[in-house]
Amino acid sequence: MNNKTKKLLIVSLAPTILKEGKYWSYSPYVNEMDLWFKYADEQRIISPFTYPEEVLMKPFSTSTIQRYYIPFFAFNTIINILKAMLLMPLIVLQMIRAMAWADHIHLRCPANVSLVACFVQILFPSKQKSTKYAGNWDPNSNQPWTYRLQQAILRNTFLTRNMKVLVYGNWPGETSNIYPFISATYRDAERVPFQPKDYTETLVFVFAGMLVPGKRPLLTIQFIEALNIQGIPARLELFGDGPLRSEIESYIATQQLESQITVHGNQDKTVVKAALLTAHFNILLSKSEGWPKAVAEGMFYGCIPVTTAVSCVAWMVGEGQRGIIVAPDLEQAVSHFKAVFNREDLNGMAAHALNWSQQYTYDRMEADIESVLAGTFVSQV
C-alpha cells in the first residue's frame, strides 16, 4: 500500500517540546506517532508546548514536523475553568487554522484538547478524520462528564462525518463509525510457540505497571500473600515504579514477604519479556484501564491473566476462557482464583491466551494505521 496521506494533523494533549533542535514528547505516544507520521508526506501537531508535570520524554524520529502553539489548559478547578475560557478564542482559532491545513485530522482522545477538537472538527465535514480513543469506551462505566461528552460527539454520525473512531474492545450496538482497534507491543518475529508450564510448582506471577492507586499494587501483593497463607505457594515479580513504591516496600518488610515478592522497579522491555516467558500468570487488578497493555503482553507469552473486569478486559479474556476475572476484593479474588485453579485445564487456558494475543502484533498495528490513513481500514478484531 503506497497511498500516503499528504498532510496529517495530530490533535493531542501530550506536549510537543522543542529541545536540542528536535521535537520531543511523552515516550509511548512518540512511539505510536512515529508510525502515523511514516505514512504522511507532511506532519503537523497541535498541542500544548508546556506541561505541568515531568514525563518520560523522547524525540520524534520524523524531522519535518511543524507545530501549532496552544497553551496548556484544564477544567479541574474554578480558576482553571476561568483561565480556559479566556484562552478559548485563541485555542479554537488555532484549531481551525490547523484543521483547514490538513488532509487528514487525527484526534487523540480523551483529553481537554480533544474535547475542544471534537466541536471544531464539526466545521470540517468533508475532511478525512480518525480518532484514537485511548480510554475506556465501556458505555456502562463510570467516567468524567467530559469523557462522556467526547464519546457522544464522536459516535454521532450527523455531527461527526468521515471519521473512523478507533476504540479498545468490541462493543455491540455501536454506531457505524466506531471500529475496534488493538494496540500492541511485540512484533511478528517475537512470537513463540506455546510451551506447557508446570502448575504444581511455585506459581510465578508478574505485575508490570505504575505503582499508583489505580493499579492497586498493594492489593496484588496481599493476593500473593493470601495464596501462600492458604497453602498455594506463589511468588510475585513486580516491575514498575511510582509514588506507592515506598509504602509497598514497607509493607513487604513489615510482613516479611521478601521471599514472596521482588520489587524490580522500572526495567527494559526485554527484562519484562524474559520474566513473562517463564511466569505462570500476569496480574492486573486495576480500577480503570483503556487498553490494558500488561494483560495483552502476558497473554502473548502464555501467561494466564488474573484481572479485574475493567474496560475491554472481559472481551480480551473471552469471558473467562483465556483468563481469570476476579473481583477487586481480596477474599473474593482469592476464593475465585482457587476455584478456577483447582477446576480448569490451566495449560489449555494459557494456550488460548497465547493464540489470541499473538494475532495482534506491532506489525499488524502498523498495517492498520497505514490503512486508516489510506481510507481502507476494515477492523479484523
Residue 71 in any domain: the answer is yes
What angle do helix axes 217-229 and 245-254 make, rounded to 10 degrees?
A: 20
Do 202 and 117 share a domain, yes or no?
no
Same domain, 225 and 253: yes
Say yes or no: 297 and 365 in one domain.
Answer: no
pLDDT of amino acid 37? 96
Same domain? 120 vs 71 = yes
Report the distance separating Cα 377 and Cα 69, nearest Å. 31
Strands 22-26 vs 57-59: parallel, antiparallel or unpaired: antiparallel
Instruction: Render pLDDT for 283-294 as a digit per residue (tens, 0 to 9).
Output: 999 988 888 889
Domain for residue 381, yes or no? no
CATH of the domain at 115: 3.40.50.2000
40 forms bridges with which residues in the sheet?
5
Give the CA dihedral 205, 209, 210, 216, nearest 10 degrees. -50
Q: Are 253 and 270 in a shared domain?
A: yes
In a domain, 263, yes or no: yes
The confidence score (pLDDT) of residue 378 equals 86
Q: Are residues 96 and 220 in the same domain?
A: no
pLDDT band at 147 (very low <50, low <70, confident <90, very high): very high
- Do 290 and 135 touch, CB atoms closer than 8 A? yes
Q: Indicate if 173 and 200 belong to the same structural domain.
A: no
pLDDT at residue 41 is higher than 70 = yes
On whether both 240 and 100 belong to a single domain, the answer is no
**Residue position matching grid coordinates 477474599:** 331
Domain tally for the chain? 2
Q: Is residue 297 part of a domain?
A: yes
228, 353: one domain: yes
Q: Which cell is 191 given?
A: 512470537
Is residue 270 domain-resident?
Answer: yes
Paired residues of 205 in beta bridges: 236, 281
Q: Please check whether residues 88 and 236 belong to one and the same domain.
A: no
Question: Model confidence over 43-95: pLDDT tens digits?
Answer: 999 999 877 666 678 999 988 999 999 998 988 889 999 999 999 999 999 99
Same-domain pairing of 161 and 215: no
Residue 379 within any structural domain of the chain: no
Q: How many other CB atoms are found less than 10 A from the CB of residue 169? A: 19
Domain assignment of residue 58, given as a range: 5-183+361-374
In-domain check, residue 268: yes
Q: Which residues, including other chains, have CB under 8 Å from residue 2's CB and lie 6 or more apart?
A: none
Phi, psi at 72, each rounded to 5°:
-70, 140
Mean pLDDT of all residues in 137-159: 92
Report in angstroms the alpha-carbon separations of 76 from 73, 80, 81, 248, 287.
9, 6, 7, 29, 21
Mean pLDDT of the chain: 93
pLDDT at 120: 98
Residues 119 and 209 in one domain: no
pLDDT at 141 (0 to 100) = 84
Task: Assess whether the previous peptide bond of 110 is cis (omega < 30° from 0).
Answer: yes
